[in-house]
Amino acid sequence: MIDVRWLPSSIIAGIITVATSLSFLRKFFLMDIQHIEQITTVQRTNGEKEHHISFISKYIFSQDHKTISKQFLITGMTWAIIGGLFSVLFRLQLGYPERSFPILETIFGKWGAGGRIDPGFYYSLVTIHGTVMIFFVLTAGLSGTFANLLIPLQVGARDMAAPFLNMLSYWFFFVASVIMLCSLFVNSGAANTGWQTYPPLSALREANQGSGTGMDLWLISLLFFVISTLLGGLNYITTILNMRTKGMTLIRMPLSVWGLFFTAVMGVLTFPVLLSGYLLLISDRNLGTSFYLSEIFVNNHALPHEGGSAILYQHLFWFLGHPEVYIAIMPAFGIVSEVISNNARKPIFGYTAMVGSLFAITTLSFLVWAHHMFVSGMNPFVGSVFVLLTLLIAVPSAVKVFNWLATLFRGNIRFTPAMLFAIGFVSLFITGGLTGIYLGNSTLDIHLHDTYFVVAHFHFVMGVASMFGMFAGVYHWYPKMFGKKMDDTLGYIHFWITMIGAYLIFWPMHYEGLAGLPRRYPDFGSWHTFNQFGNVNKMITFVSIIVFAAQFLFLANFFYTMYKGRKLKTMNPWGATTLEWTTPLLPGHGNWPGEIPEVHRWPYDYSKNGRDFIPQTEPLHEGEIHEEEGE
């Protein structure tokens, strides 16, 4: 039972955090209005000629949203490689628990003594893998990249509402990355409390080695990350609501912008709660408070903590933790909608329903957090309420799937790498979504909780699916980023290895979870019941290595094309309708050399009036209706 005495204090902490942030940010938004006006003046008077700025101002501490998007992308890709490498290394332990691998001792030193990963350090690898993939790759890497790249270009703005805050958003993320990287090398070991960092394990320094300095650095890193996310989210919301070009009404915005908008709303409303939770955890660790601790004994010695509740932390964490699932995947919803419509050469099916489903998912995401806590001693009646709300969120998700399939139906499909990853995303989202129905049932979850069934579910619906959305976006908007087009053949190979590998890795884990195989254990040899999965785990490890290696094809394609690829000669290589393709191929700071174009129609006029596509900037012809308004 949660001790409600601490609930008001945590809520107040979150409110104070938001209020302080808003008052601090107000003056920066006012400063950046002047910056935007200067950009506009330069663009109008000098045409495409940009004012002189230094290398550091242009490429390092840049306030150009397009450069910042590349910074987020490259940093996110770096962390994806690190997080993926950690998963391969701990999969070696899981697949071949009886063998020694000298390379592990070479890499990890004392933590890999004898070629076997220390059990505590194994959990550190799992912790850092989950942390960086969820927060640094699927949140900062995905949202940071495409929100910065697409929002100003697709709504018709010179830049973000606050370019300076936009720059700060990235550099707070960069500092968070550096601190997290440093936490891997502390002598006492990296944090090993899981990415959820449940107390009391995370709240007591003496709990284990990973609860010491490594845990402190982990928390500090996440504080910087949360600040980065809040700065970015406020900027995205302000830009979308206040800086749309003439004619760009809300119902004429591309679904990619809608997805990023709702993502930012969820982030701004939930990350302050996580921030307050982390601050209380830091207080318990360093100031002797007892927000999460009560009646704790260590080595038969009673610690002076009373009145706290570890369950309180779970409520604060999962109030962000479940919306975080949608924060990670909702940008991919929008990206996939754009890519599918463009490459099917058809208008998106049910535009209004798609926007409505995004709104419904956003709203319901705040009401389902406790389905992660069915085994925490929750009152069964309360659990039944969260079961109902959890199952309800499947309805708008199903609407989106139906509309994507309807858009594909009888379309003139171009199977570009981006389109393949978009279709793969739909497949993965369906698979992961169906398994979520089992976990959303409180009765079934008692058996499935903390088993490999959960691992399989969230990797399908959140991890791999979001990565597929990210890959689709990179392949599709690479020409807008770098003025070149990535190699299709390497893209096809990358897709098929990753797609087939994802199912071979995570589908068998459902059966392991149904048998009760628990997650987070480095060796199952002491359980004779689970010996039947020995060959399955070997296969999963083998495929994981292949899939990880395939990602270097993507990296080679990405960086080779950037430096050696052939420049495109057309501004609109995909025949798209949206505003970003009306800019020069590599637009300068300010995006359009002259006046920003006016929007006259919705963004999905494909295969209409005998034409392949009609840009948003083309006025309506006599007798033509507004598709988005249903006239």
Residue 6 pLDDT class (50, 70, 90 cuts): very low
In a shared domain, residues 454 and 568: yes
Question: Residue holding tokens 């960069």?
Answer: 174
Give the integer Cα–Cα distance in Å for 463 and 598.
38
325 is a domain residue: no
| Residue 13 clears pLDDT 80, i.e. is over it | no
The angle, 0 to 180 degrees and rounded to 10, between the axes of the packed helices 488-514 and 534-564 is: 160
Task: Please tell me whether the peptide bond between 163 and the residue prior to it is cis, using omega within 30 degrees of 0.
Answer: no
From 294, 326, 359, give the residue that closes a domain: 294
- Tell me: do 229 and 369 sit in the same domain: no
204 inside domain:
yes
Global pTM reads 0.91
Residue 176 lies in a domain: yes
pLDDT in tens, 577-603: 999 999 998 999 999 999 999 999 999
Look at residues 84, 112, 101, 185 and name the one whose alpha carbon lies nearest to residue 467. 84
Please spell the DSSP secondary structure of 227-239, one letter per residue.
HHHHHHHHHHHHH
Residues 347 and 209 in one domain: no
Within this chain, do residues 213 and 347 fall inside the same structural domain, yes or no? no
Does the residue 627 lie in any domain?
A: no
187 and 249, same domain (yes or no)? yes
Q: Would residue 55 count as lying in a domain?
A: no
Domain range for 106 is 1-45+61-294
In tens, the pLDDT along 76-106 reads 999 999 999 999 999 999 999 888 989 888 8
Which of 266, 294, 322 lies at the terminal end of a domain, its last residue? 294
Residue 12: the pLDDT is 53
Does residue 359 share a domain with residue 223?
Answer: no
pLDDT computed for residue 287 by the predictor: 92
What per-residue confidence (pLDDT) applies to 54?
A: 78
Contact 617, 597 (CB under 8 A): yes
287 shares its domain with 342: no
Domain identity same for 347 and 492: yes
Task: Note the pLDDT of residue 631.
Answer: 38
pLDDT per position as a tens digit, 278-325 = 999 999 999 989 999 998 888 888 888 888 999 999 999 999 999 999
CA gap 596, 36 in Å, rounded: 13
Domain with residue 384: its CATH number is 1.20.210.10
Query: Structural domain tally of the chain?
Result: 2
Residues 350, 286: one domain? no
Q: Report CA 51 to chain centroid distance, whole Å.
A: 35
* Residue pLDDT, tens place only, 167-203: 999 999 999 999 999 999 998 889 999 999 999 999 9
**Is 499 inside a domain boundary?**
yes
CB of 123 closer than 8 Å to CB of 192: yes
Residue 252 confidence (pLDDT) above 70: yes
Residue 20 has pLDDT above 60, yes or no: no
Query: Is the same domain home to 171 and 227?
Result: yes
SS3 484: strand
Q: What percent of the chain has pLDDT over 90?
A: 77
Q: Are residues 147 and 91 in the same domain?
A: yes
206 and 100 in a common domain: yes
Residue 628 lies in a domain: no
